[in-house]
Amino acid sequence: MKSVLTSDYKILDNPRNVLRSLSFVTSNTHKFKEVNSYFTGARLSNMKFTINHLNQKYTELQADTISEVAHASASSLSTIMNHDFLIEDSGITVNRLNGFPGPYSSFVFQTVGWQGILDLLGDQEDRSAFFTSVFVLSLDKKLVAFEGEVQGSITIEAKGNFGFGFDPIFIPEGQTGFRTTLAEMETDEKNEISHRGKSLRKLFDFLIQK
């Protein structure tokens, strides 16, 4: 069995041994860590892509849904990029807050942080919420989207030091025992159940067919 080692990935049995490079454009190093961990851990047989980090900010257009934001941003970025790329937009939606912050998650986190969400929710009984992740891939100038979601609830207080953003106040559905919030999980554990893990799985299944 032939194998080729790149800096990050072991590519097995790639018939032509031709690797296409895909730039994940994000200024969020945590997101890249999750993507890198997923692709490193995934079964890479016949994978013809390497994913590298393009640490760059781009114009995030505002829209009513996370999916629309991701599409609009990718579409605008595709006019200036001359190679294949990937972007992701994500956010948390709190049901009792009528969908807030949703597409405004980034701004809300930068301004009031997770404490702002805990304050807004107060001691409300309905603490249900969900995270959404939408990857948009630009491959040969065509855009394809991959979406993932994880349902869960908002804690009473923050717990855990891993991850980023609202991770310390979000408990994924079905989580019991000591390690409950996303911020109490290592990257690969989070990827197994998270919104991003789910959208990444769809992206991976698509890329492996190429």
Binding site for ligand IMP (CB under 6 A): 28, 60, 89-92, 105-106, 109, 131, 163-167, 182, 194, 196
Q: What does R_g of the chain's alpha carbons equal in angstroms?
A: 18
- Could you tell me the smallest distance in angstroms from the CB atom of residue 171 to ligand IMP? 12
Q: Strands 128-139 and 85-94, how do they pair?
A: antiparallel
- Could you tell me the smallest distance in angstroms from the CB atom of residue 89 to ligand IMP? 4
For ligand IMP, give the closer residue by CB, 51 or 182: 182
CA–CA distance, 204 with 206 (Å, rounded to integer): 5
Q: Is 84 a catalytic residue?
A: no
For ligand IMP, give the closer residue by CB, 11 or 91: 91
Marked catalytic residue, from 8, 13, 64, 89: 89
Q: Which residue is nearest to ligand IMP (CB)?
A: 165
For ligand IMP, give the closer residue by CB, 154 or 163: 163
What's the burial of 196, exposed, middle or buried (CB within 10 Å: 0-12/13-18/19+)?
buried
Closest of 91, 66, 95, 113 to residue 154, by C-alpha? 95
Six-digit token string for 107: 């701004």
Active site (catalytic) residues: 89
